Amino acid sequence: MLRLRDISFADATTLLSRYDLQLQRVADDASIPGSYWGDCEAGLIGATVHARGDTPVHSLLHEACHLIVLPPERRSAVHTDATDSVEEEDAVCLLQALLGDMLPGVGRARVLADMDAWGYTFRLGSAAAYFERDADTAWAWLVERGLVAADRTLRLPG
């Protein structure tokens, strides 16, 4: 599983900053503030994603995507759990893979493989199969919010 320590922290910080989010590095021996799952999983407080060097990149991206899909005025109220609905959760799974393509040395295929290794489950048996063949509703959800184009490409802010 690809970890934050395996990629450029600066690249991850820059990507999140495009969405007006902050990435806060947590000391390796400290607990991660706002982590829903605990252990090494990323945490959320306001517009900040908290992560350690051992945080899986897919976890960092997943939690960041929960903030990205929220209207900016709602971000300040977030602490630990940002999910609004099953539809949002499904869309976040797609968006995190798309953001993987924006990080050098990561890519969508790695994010999807790491999601499988972590234990995400999908009807068709893998995150990649969901992404490619079973997520029409989630794609539509992202298109409606202007986060992806109709051709399913990522729309970056600014």
Residue-level pLDDT, tens digit, the chain, 158 residues: 999 999 999 999 999 999 999 999 999 999 999 999 889 999 999 999 999 999 999 999 999 999 999 988 999 999 998 887 889 999 999 999 999 999 999 999 999 999 999 988 888 889 999 999 999 999 999 999 999 999 999 999 97
* Single pTM value for the model: 0.95
Q: How many CB atoms lie within 10 A of CB 7?
A: 16
d(CA 114, CA 116): 5
Region for 20 from its dihedrals, namely left if φ exceeds 0, alpha if ψ lies in -120 to 50, beta otherwise? left
d(CA 60, CA 58): 6
Q: Tell me if residue 153 falls in helix, strand or coil.
A: coil
